[in-house]
A and B are shown apart, each in its own frame.
Chain A
Amino acid sequence: MSLKTKDQIETTTGRTEIPDPEMVKKELIAKYPTKVARKRSKQIMPNTTDECGNPTVMGANVRTVPGIITQRGCCYAGCKGVIMGPTRDIVNLVHGPIGCSFYAWLTRRNQTRPPTDQDDNYMTYCFSTDMQDNDIVFGGEKKLKAAIQEAYDNFKPKAISIFSTCPVGLIGDDVHAVAREMKEKLGINVFGFSCEGYKGVSQSAGHHIANNGIFTHVVGENDTIMDADYKINLLGEYNIGGDAFEIDRILGLCGISLVSTFSGNSSYDQFANCHTADLNAVMCHRSINYVADMLEIRYGIPWIKINFIGAQATAKSLRKIAQYFDEPELIERVEAVIAAELPEIERVKEEVKQRCEGKLAMMFVGGSRAHSYQGIFKEIGMRTISAGYEFAHRDDYEGRRVIDDIKVDADSRNIQELEITRDETRYNPRKTEAEMAELAEKGVAFKEYNGMMADMDPNALVIDDISQYETEKLIEIYKPDLYCAGIKEKYAVQKSGIPMKQLHSYDSGGPYAGFKGAINFYKEIDRMVNSKVWGYIQAPWQGSPELSAKYGWE
């Protein structure tokens, strides 16, 4: 990619000619060994639909091709790093050699604000059994027990959770037995997660294991019912860069109370008490849909999919929640809040739109944001021409209606599915069947998620588990104006002269959720795609490398 001058940027604005996605796909896989090409061709799909309007079948949640340079992480990262990491008052003890705990130490930007300075907050700490070769040879259970005791002696936490790493499963340490024994001994909740890195094919397995663990060991431990009118759980919101704080602010203005957030700025008690809420609002479908389903089956709490990224999506989500509770006072309040927040958003949006309209974006992010950010780009006139997830499943691409068709393959078969039944004493359907049907009629879709593909252009290209090679090819072919992904992709993309936005860490920015977040995001994208730096790549002498015979001072 040669440098982009300001003129060239302007000529790309508003372009409509997009390369044929089928041709792009061919080019992306042409270089691979035959077997690899065959495999990848199932995970790279133009966003076409069949005659019934159903999207193409996406190859997803399958094993990674060795050597292809994937961006994926592991089961441990999904369990400890993503779901349990953001909880502030549980000591998260990693059982393994030092690396796993070191790399998950403060590297995701889950912000935390305990109510007072006296409240527990272990976010800044990293706990590990730091297994040595002796522990591998003779087993690490003894050391794990001692480490739990030492953690208790030093910190006196409310609860301790244990995370297994690769070697733990191989050498046969029984972390659950150790947890039971120490729970008995210390009188606090101690529970383990078998989230060895090799389980499943990605972070996704870790989400499932975390969902199961937290549901089994903590949810339902505290039956206190919060004194509030509209009580919800916010599921799958990890407070990156303060997203959950902004959502809290808006919900607070609307008079909606949060019983729990899974798991940005969360606490043990929130998990223990979350079964007392009246509605689950699911932000990140991939990571937390298991808890949403289990809470519904066991306790009768319905769930809806919401999205707080983008002003329109935020307004829509608030209205959906209000509609669920169906109280005129709440509906009115929500409308008032939206009306109060919108003028400032409109002002910034219109200004930014002038400079961003027509630009092309690409997004390859974990299991949720590649979809949830498409609307906010539309708000400033940008098009998402290619997108994909690292580790989402077919339902995140094609919608939940395909769930029954999904075959669990050999690599993921050992991830436990909990058999959840109704809690005979505490099951309490929040709405009658008639009320649910009536709400559905009005457009409140329960337990529904239509997936990313339904919201994308027909000529967009969808790519699952994108490789470094495919990233480079895509950039070469489409010359996008913005590429969104993570830290591992960032600098290679940037060196190609393309602005690169991290949608995991937000490049230390944020919040991007909610109304204030939308404003932050518009401004940030404007800054990135219109920065002067992209005009300096060519040195003045590189345009005319021949030495001029004439000197400047002549």
Chain B
Amino acid sequence: MLLRHTNKEIKPRESLTVNPAKTCQPIGAMYASLGIHNCLPHSHGSQGCCAYHRSALTRHFREPVMAATSSFTEGSSVFGGQSNLIQAIDTIFTTYEPDVIAVHTTCLSETIGDDVNQIAIKAVKDGKVPKGKYVIHTSTPSYVGSHVTGFSNMTKAMATAFSKSTGVSNGKFNIIPGYVEPSDMTEIKRVVKEMGIKPILFPDTSNVLNGPQTGKYKMYPDGGVTIEELTSAGDSIGTIALGNTASADAARALDTRCKVPCQVLDLPIGLAATDRFINTLRTVAGVNVPASIDLERGQLLDIITDMQAYLYHKKVALAGDPDQLIPLVEFLISIDMMPVHIVTGTPGKDFVKRIEALTADLPYKVNVKAGGGADMYLLHQWIKNEPVDLLISNTYGKYIARDEDIPFMRYGFPIVDRVGHSYFPSVCYKGGMRLLEKILDLLLDRIDRDSLEETFELVM
């Protein structure tokens, strides 16, 4: 047994986290920064964080992930990291020539209280920031929230650093897609355009972290939201923020700053959440839903109808990030499955409330926990007490899946042992079809594996 020390008996834990269902802020900020065109993320801390975050993102996307670091030493940890950051800005603009450096912090620079804003202003004064180039920044203390919080903080920073309201509408909608895969961002853009709406999508990591092999390495790939688009975001008709944890802060900041009205929706995962997304787009933009979208919805529904028998009352355990888990749980319920154990390491009371509301009509009480103590060790203990038919989580779930012999769907961040997730969407109706196909494949493979020879079926 790989997790041989995990016992059925659950002892209360207040202080010890075992096998977390989250990681720390800066990696989310780094991911968001990569969604700006010609941007180099910068980690203001000691260099280990930056190396770990780059490695983790690289393992997940199997793409180059570039970022610089202030490389704190013990001296700068005591006396402040100002000279490190100013030197870094100089070295970066001279050597790597980005248009934007997006600075985030770590628990080190946050604990010592470095004032990054003041340092950035000094860098401009000292002539270290070439004309037409930018340094933006956000605070991402690792001891608050999770990687999703870091993503949210950087997304907010990119909205507020550039957006301007000129008083003339650009006729577009801002779409904040949340902490999702590049493939999901592509899909969201496609659907919005299909509806006849012009989007400004940010951050946008499509074509950055799912790029092609061309024989030529491009440090700044073709994708990413441009500075012009971010500036123009202040003139948009409205903002749609997908995922409360990752996207709401940026949308509200744009509202406050440029009076761009916003709506916060769930990530469009599964049938109902995508319905709400499409319906909102239709209403706010005053457009008709095209037949092509109706067709996709119908196709998703068709698969559910066809294969419903295999889904009915199957128990599911889930670990992941709150914005994904909420619509995913809703989707599972809508296809007659039974989510029974749910954890997210990201703290927040709203998550538990939303899950409880979504599962209120189920004939049992779900195990749900967020934040401190909500780790995959607890999830595993719950599973030992009440076994499930399917486990959905990032790659770390494979250890539980193997020990307990549970069909396992990789979902969320990070997935480091398979490829495809950054190229194929799981949002909107198309993504719903893909999720359903994956779930059904797993459940049917299990039936094939376990069936007796006489009940081994050709047609299912």
List residues of A whose CB falls within 8 A of some B CB. 1-3, 31-33, 36, 63-77, 93, 96-107, 117, 120-122, 124-133, 135-136, 143-144, 146-147, 150-151, 153-155, 165-167, 169-171, 196-201, 410-411, 414, 467-469, 472, 486-488, 490-497, 537-538
Contact assessment for A97 and B107 in the assembled complex, using a CB-CB cutoff below 8 Å: yes
Complex interface: stretch among B3-11, B197-205, B326-334, B429-437: B3-11
Contact A98 B51, beta carbon cutoff 8 Å:
no
* Chain B window 19-30, contacts with chain A (Cβ cutoff 8 Å), 1 for yes, 0 for no: 110111011000
Question: Which of B16, B48, B214 makes the CB contact (< 8 A) with A146?
Answer: B16
Q: Are A537 and B214 in contact (CB under 8 A)?
A: yes
* Residue B137 is within 8 A (CB to CB) of chain A in the complex: no
Q: Which of B57-65, B151-159, B279-287, B382-390 lines the interface with chain A?
A: B57-65
Are A154 and B58 interface neighbours, CB within 8 A? no
| A155 CB contacts on chain B under 8 angstroms | 5
Whether B91 lies near A99 (C-beta < 8 A) is no
Q: What residues of chain B lie closer than 8 Å to A201, measured between beta carbons?
A: 73
Residue ID in chain A nearest B72 by CB atoms: A198
Q: Verify if B37 is at the interface (C-beta below 8 Å from A).
A: no
Q: Nearest 6 CB-CB pairs, A to B?
A: A74-B48, A67-B88, A99-B24, A67-B91, A146-B15, A103-B52
In the bound complex, CA of A232 to CA of B23 (Å): 40
> Given A488-B55, A537-B215, is A127 in contact with B17 using a C-beta cutoff of 8 Å?
yes
Cα of A517 to Cα of B22 in the assembled complex, Å: 36
Given contacts A66-B85, A151-B16, A488-B54, contact A96 B107 (CB under 8 A): yes
Counting CB contacts under 8 A, is B420 at the interface?
A: no
A77 to B47, CA, bound (A): 11
Q: Which of B141-149, B245-253, B302-310 contacts A (4 or more CB under 8 A)?
A: B141-149
Question: What is the CA–CA distance of A154 and B377 in the complex, to the nearest angstrom?
Answer: 11
A-B pairs under 8 A by CB, number:
263
Of the candidates A1, A75, A410, A468, the one whose C-beta lies within 8 Å of that of B66 is: A468
- The answer on a CB contact under 8 Å between B107 and A66 is no
Measured between beta carbons, the chain B residues less than 8 angstroms from A414 are 74
| Interface residue? B112 (CB, 8 A) | yes
- Closest chain B CB from A51 CB (angstroms): 36
**Interface positions of B (Cβ within 8 A of A):** 1-5, 7, 11, 13-20, 22-24, 26-27, 42, 45-49, 51-56, 58-59, 62-77, 84-85, 87-92, 94-96, 106-108, 111-112, 141-144, 146, 211, 213-219, 345, 372, 377, 396, 399
Q: Known contacts A72-B51, A197-B46, A491-B63; is A67 also within 8 Å of B11 by CB?
A: no
- Are B215 and A490 closer than 8 Å at their CB atoms? no
**B4 / chain A contacts, CB cutoff of 8 Å:** 117, 121
6 more contacts with CB within 8 A, not counting A125-B19, A154-B7, are A64-B69, A99-B24, A132-B144, A136-B107, A198-B46, A495-B215
Could you tell me if A132 and B92 are in contact, using CB atoms closer than 8 angstroms? Answer: no
Measured CA separation A67–B92 after assembly (Å):
5
| Least distance between B349 CB and chain A CB atoms (Å) | 15
B107 touches A128 (CB 8 A): no
Which residues does chain A contribute within 8 Å of B7, judged by CB atoms?
A: 154
Using known A-B contacts A97-B143, A130-B20, determine if residue A67 contacts B42 with beta carbons closer than 8 Å. Answer: yes
Complex contact A63–B71 (CB within 8 A): yes
A155 to B73, CA, bound (A): 36
Whether A70 touches B69, Cβ cut-off 8 Å, given contacts A107-B55, A167-B107, is yes
The answer to whether A67 touches B141 (Cβ under 8 A) is no
In the bound assembly, the distance between CA atoms of A97 and B67 in angstroms comes to 21
- Asked if A125 and B3 sit within 8 Å, CB to CB, the answer is yes
For the complex, give the distance between the alpha carbons of A154 and B3 in Å: 13
Chain A: CB-nearest residue to B93: A67
A74 contact from B51, B59, B144, B213, Cβ within 8 A = B51
When chains A and B are docked, how far (Å) is the Cα of A496 from the Cα of B215?
5
Most A CB contacts (10 A, CB to CB) among B16, B71, B88, B213 go to: B16
By a CB distance below 8 angstroms, the chain B residues around A105 are: 19, 396
Closest Cβ of chain A: how far from B369's Cβ, in Å? 14
Q: Which of A66, A98, A99, A166 contacts B71 (CB 8 A)?
A: A66
- 21 residue pairs of the A-B complex, CB under 8 angstroms, read A64-B71, A67-B69, A67-B87, A70-B69, A72-B71, A75-B48, A97-B141, A99-B26, A99-B142, A106-B396, A125-B5, A126-B19, A127-B17, A130-B20, A132-B372, A133-B141, A166-B108, A197-B45, A198-B74, A200-B74, A538-B215
Interfacial chain B residues near A71, Cβ < 8 Å: 51
Chain B residues positioned under 8 Å from A70 (CB to CB):
47, 51, 69, 71
Interchain nearest-CB distance for B333 vs A (Å): 30
Contact B216 A103 (CB under 8 A): no
Distance A333 CA – B381 CA, assembled complex (angstroms): 51
B64 & A33 in contact (Cβ 8 Å cutoff): no
Q: In whole Å, how far is A99's beta carbon from the nearest beta carbon of chain B?
A: 3
Residues in B neighbouring A144, C-beta threshold 8 A: 15
Q: With A75-B48, A117-B1, A146-B16 as given contacts, are A537 and B71 in contact (CB-CB < 8 Å)?
A: no
Q: Let me know if A69 and B215 touch, CB within 8 A.
A: no
When the two chains form their complex, are residues B143 and A102 in contact, meaning their CB atoms are under 8 A apart? no
Cα of A77 to Cα of B7 in the assembled complex, Å: 30
Instruction: Name A150's contact: one of B16, B106, B211 (CB within 8 Å).
Output: B16
Q: Are A72 and B47 in contact (CB under 8 A)?
A: yes
A101 engages B20 (CB within 8 Å): yes
Listed residue (A65, A68, A76, A198) with the most chain B CB atoms within 10 angstroms of its CB: A198
Q: Does the CB pair A66–B215 fall under 8 Å?
A: no
Given the complex, which residues of B lie within 8 Å of A468, measured CB to CB? 66, 96
Closest residue of B by beta carbon distance from A165: B107
